[in-house]
Amino acid sequence: MARDVNPDIGRRSVLKSVGAFGALLGLGGVTSATPGREPGPKKNEILIGTSSDTVSTSEATVQSKLPSDAEIVHRNEKLGYVAVEFPERASIQSKKNFKQNVLQEDDIEYAEDNVTFEALAVPNDPGFDQQYAPQQVNAPEAWETTFGDSDVTISIVDQGVQYDHENLQANMDGSVSNGGYDFVDNDGDPYPASQNENHGTHVAGIAAGATDNGTGHAGISNCSLLSARALGDGGGGSLSDIADAIQWSADQGADIINMSLGGGGYTETMASACEYAYNQGSLLVAAAGNDYGSSVSYPAAYDTVVAVSSLDEGETLSNFSNYGPEIELAAPGGDVLSSIPWDDYDSFDGTSMASPVVAGVAGLTLSAHSNLSNDELRQHLQETAVDIGLSEDKQGYGRVDAGQAVNTDPGEGGGDDPGNGDCGDETNTETASGELSGGWWGNPSDTYNYRLTTTNPCSATVTLDGPSDADFDLYLTLDGRTPTTSDYDEGSYEAGSNEEVTVDLSGDEELGILVNQYNGSGSYELTIEELGK
């Protein structure tokens, strides 16, 4: 189902307001411009809406309210408004006074600034008109601010990337030979082994295929790309190769690590690799899986990773997409156009396509707000996501939105949060205490069960404080079953007896808690802080 990229397709132009204006009016039937009136933005004009049958009837009312240095310069009978022009030297207060005075008249409906609208950035890539993913996540609005900074790096842990592809070469990270490393063959050339090895090149092109370069399709960002080849020609890869690729990406300073891969279940090695990269400052993004509604696969299901579900063009959940409480964001993943070997293009389906959309948006966001940590970047993407009416286990915080993420100052929100409020608006704290006795014959443990109490639970932090000369471990389950050291959902087992685990909540979980003595003994205190919206 390859799509031919036609360079002759016309461009669409979308408008946005740069003033405080609620909606774009239909422009059919607009009268021609008043003779002698300057074209373009008219920042010194105020539009007066009238309620009379004819505009001319209300003109006298408007005229009577005009300051001596203002005049009516334009009228539109069909839409029922007149434009009043003030001189450039007019103060803001004088315009405000005029609007207040004229609104006191019965035949005047509104008075508002003649705000400026401008064309959104429309890239010159010939395939852009055949794409929907950048438009769905509002990338053109973000591109008005930034196409992406080459100092922001996105690592693609996947099959090999055709790093000399006509639409990728310009964005490959030049600080690394051949743009990456091959963990499958253990060499410095992460090139695809054959035409069939197309997944990595497609994923890379979604996140950061060169945009506005007059070639091929438009990627979400123009950030730099690293290729960490961890999957072979057949599409599979070993746990060790993937874990090594994640660690290497973090050590290379990757700001964002995309993992359009899954399967194998929970493993300590992968969990450790993701935790390492997150602690190094990387934002990890992964595909939820394509098992038609099954639970979210690993690595997406780890707390350190942003799990992404897939949407179709109509913003419905793709029928192949996995979902569950771990879903954090949703993005287009059905029929997404991108690059493939060799200098070609095609449309693929999968949560593998949705994940790099989020990675690309994260790259744009970090380009605009370069001082964000990975924690802050993750939160900002959540806060600026758009609620598209799906349940939280299918959309998480909502559909990722590049325009809002780039153009909203961090901390100001801007999205439609399906949870109705910030996490932490409602809290509940419980404590428990106990004592474990040492002994060579085994490791004593205590178990607890915690039911959620806040109205709309969004996270919980479990903290264990024990004696300084002991080594205690903490394990959690999210379905209420009693944890063991080999059967648990989350755990903390660092050296010492001070442990902490934070988990995201959707409201359906029940925490099972295991305090386990690994070495030493003594009394401990357990604290559970639950946050709701």
Positions annotated as catalytic residues are 158, 199, 352
Residue 323, classed as helix, strand or coil, is: coil
Cα–Cα dist 201/334, whole Å: 17
Cα–Cα dist 384/406, whole Å: 9
Residue 182, classed as helix, strand or coil, is: strand
Cα 218 to chain centroid, rounded: 18
Q: In what order do the strands lie in the sheet with 522-532?
A: 426-436, 522-532, 457-465, 498-504
Task: Say which residue the tokens 């394990």 belong to.
Answer: 475
Three-state SS sequence of 431-445: EEEEEECCCCCCCCE
In Å, the largest CA–CA distance within the chain is 98
Yes or no: say if 122 and 176 are a contact pair by the CB < 8 Å rule: no
Cα–Cα dist 310/319, whole Å: 9
Q: Write out the DSSP string of 149-175.
A: -TTSEEEEEES---TT-TTTGGGB-TT
Yes or no: say if 322 and 296 are a contact pair by the CB < 8 Å rule: yes
What angle is formed at CA 311 by the lines to CA 308 and CA 313, rounded to 5 degrees? 150
